[in-house]
Amino acid sequence: SVSFSSHLDIENIIWQKLLANVACNCVAAMTGLTSIHILADRSTRTMLEGLAEEVAQVARVKGLSFPALDDPKAYVVAAFAGTKDNKVSMLQDIEAGRPTEIGTLNEAVVREAQALGVRAPLNEMVTQVIRGKELFNRLAKSAA
């Protein structure tokens, strides 16, 4: 027998997961650091928390409501701390020279913010940085 549960508020569940991934993955990919080091350093932790606040703002304007919106900084810090010293997928992709999921994470937040008439400047910036890293990897491969 197979059991399952149904969630009528799937968009809230998706955005709660998105909140953690958007804030954590790109910071790791940009810095090459794992959560242990990112959370211990004031500048990288501030970046992570700023991204979390920005995603939460977009979610609120969108009319969503889920527990992590009460304190998005604490939520992403706890979620990221749970990864210990593991390398998140976006960091692994950058290191391996593969395309990342930036388009479905930070860039998607930027598009949603624009559709709602709000800005997401931190997410715009990190999207551009990651796109630059992807370009660097492509150019390095073509030169090899």
In angstroms, the CA 101 to CA 140 distance is 20
- Residue recorded with tokens 């979620």: 79
Residue 70, exposed/middle/buried by CB under 10 A (0-12, 13-18, 19+)? exposed
Q: What pLDDT is attached to residue 8?
A: 63
Q: What pLDDT is attached to residue 1?
A: 73
- This prediction has a pTM of 0.91
Per-residue pLDDT of the chain (144 residues; tens, 9 = 90+): 777 665 568 999 999 999 999 999 999 999 999 999 999 999 999 999 999 999 999 999 999 999 999 999 999 999 999 998 999 999 999 999 999 999 999 999 999 999 999 999 999 999 999 999 999 999 999 998
Q: What pLDDT is attached to residue 5?
A: 63
Contacting residues for 19 by C-beta, under 8 A, at least 6 apart: 52, 55, 56, 59, 68, 72, 75, 76
Q: What pLDDT is attached to residue 72?
A: 98
Q: What pLDDT is attached to residue 136?
A: 97
Q: What pLDDT is attached to residue 45?
A: 97
